[in-house]
Structure 1
């Protein structure tokens, strides 16, 4: 089972990309957010992959730029009625941290903004995610009419680096893309100052 791919982005199409790993091309299904943050074709990328097999379609790979996104995707697939397409749509409109907040607030409308997710399915997602972990955040069940709250997450290097670039007047979409590319180059354990420098280099390309 494939859990991660590191290779050259060969193609980016609607709904998927092609990653060339030592001459072997892997077709990886991705959400719009992930595809929008991928480097340009010809550059290297690392994708955290969820592998799935079915008798009808054979092997399918679903890719994410962060482990939390893959974990959220896997958690969503465990909910009755949520298939890969709906799970990707949810994560397109609500990244893992925002999804946790929506679940804690019982915000079915926010989840219902995802393509293919109607009111009934949004309610089921909110109900079934209560109390389940998602990366660094847990969905805490509500008690006796009191809405649960999610404890503020520890500031991440990604968030702080993006905030620093926003403070320099960089547009958010460009800031996030530059920081994502910097972390791909440096690794998740990189220090904040190094990530900011690398992101500024990406913006200067």
Structure 2
């Protein structure tokens, strides 16, 4: 099986890239975020690969990071999520944002992806609660939030605090990390207003 490709970017398609490895071009289907992260045609690139083999085809899926590849495989364990939907989710959310959405049970965030309706978004956050790829690339703040809250399901006060901080312009990963640090010190029963205030202090450090 192919685990990683190192070569030159040959060309781009709407949903895939061709990587030239020693004169052999491999076609890898990618998320929008991976395609945007790749260098220009003719430049060196490294793409992490998941190989799918079926009776009628062999298809390569490419990822910019091990975290994205890991989330792709985790998403595929959910009923109703195939490769196309998994790539759509990873096109809409970074691995850290997806980790935050699962930790906070935020189906609306997952529902941003094309082809993901409310019911499927709910199934994804429910079935994947507490499941985070066991690799260092996943946002440490999100892991801290999940550890602080047990199974990875945030209480209403925590979810509200993270939402308030993101509304102020901070990313989901930043907000989750800040609230995680506050929860670790103050406890998960801390009032929403206090979580927001102390979270802002954490973000200003």
- TM-score between the two structures when normalised by the length of structure 1: 0.68
> Is the contact made by 2:104 and 2:154 (CA closer than 8 Å) also made in structure 1?
no
What CA distance in whole angstroms lies between the structure 2 residues aligned with 1:141 and 1:121?
19
What CA distance in whole angstroms lies between the structure 2 residues aligned with 1:107 and 1:34?
23
> Is the contact made by 2:104 and 2:152 (CA closer than 8 Å) also made in structure 1?
no
Q: CA deviation at 1:152?
A: 2.6
> Is the contact made by 1:106 and 1:147 (CA closer than 8 Å) also made in structure 2?
no
Q: CA deviation at 1:147?
A: 5.9
Deviations 1:21-59 (Å, cap 9, x if unpaired)?
A: 011110000111111121111111000111111123x11
Q: CA deviation at 1:126?
A: 0.2
Q: Residue 177 of structure 2 aligns to a residue in which SS?
A: coil
Q: Provide the residue aligned with 1:55 in structure 2.
A: 55
Q: Does 1:141 align with 2:152?
A: yes
What CA distance in whole angstroms lies between the structure 2 residues aligned with 1:45 and 1:144?
42
Q: CA deviation at 1:145?
A: 7.0
Q: Provide the residue aligned with 1:107 in structure 2.
A: 106
Instruction: Pick the structure with greater CA Rg.
Output: 2
Q: Structure 2: which 5+ runs fail to align?
A: 163-172, 179-205
Q: CA deviation at 1:146?
A: 7.3
> Is the contact made by 2:103 and 2:154 (CA closer than 8 Å) also made in structure 1?
no
Deviations 1:113-138 (Å, cap 9, x if unpaired)?
A: 10111111100110011111224445
Q: Provide the residue aligned with 2:29 in structure 1.
A: 29
Q: Structure 1: which 5+ runs fail to align?
A: 154-205
Q: Give the number of aligned pairs.
A: 152
Q: CA deviation at 1:144?
A: 8.1
Deviations 1:161-189 (Å, cap 9, x if unpaired)?
A: xxxxxxxxxxxxxxxxxxxxxxxxxxxxx
What CA distance in whole angstroms lies between the structure 2 residues aligned with 1:66 and 1:145?
32
* RMSD (CA atoms): 2.2
- TM-score between the two structures when normalised by the length of structure 2: 0.68
Q: Provide the residue aligned with 1:185 in structure 2.
A: none
Q: Residue 34 and residue 116 in structure 1: after superposition, are their counterparts in 2 closer, same or farther (change >3 A)?
A: same
What CA distance in whole angstroms lies between the structure 2 residues aligned with 1:144 and 1:38?
38
Q: CA deviation at 1:9?
A: 0.5
What CA distance in whole angstroms lies between the structure 1 residues aligned with 2:177 and 2:12?
35
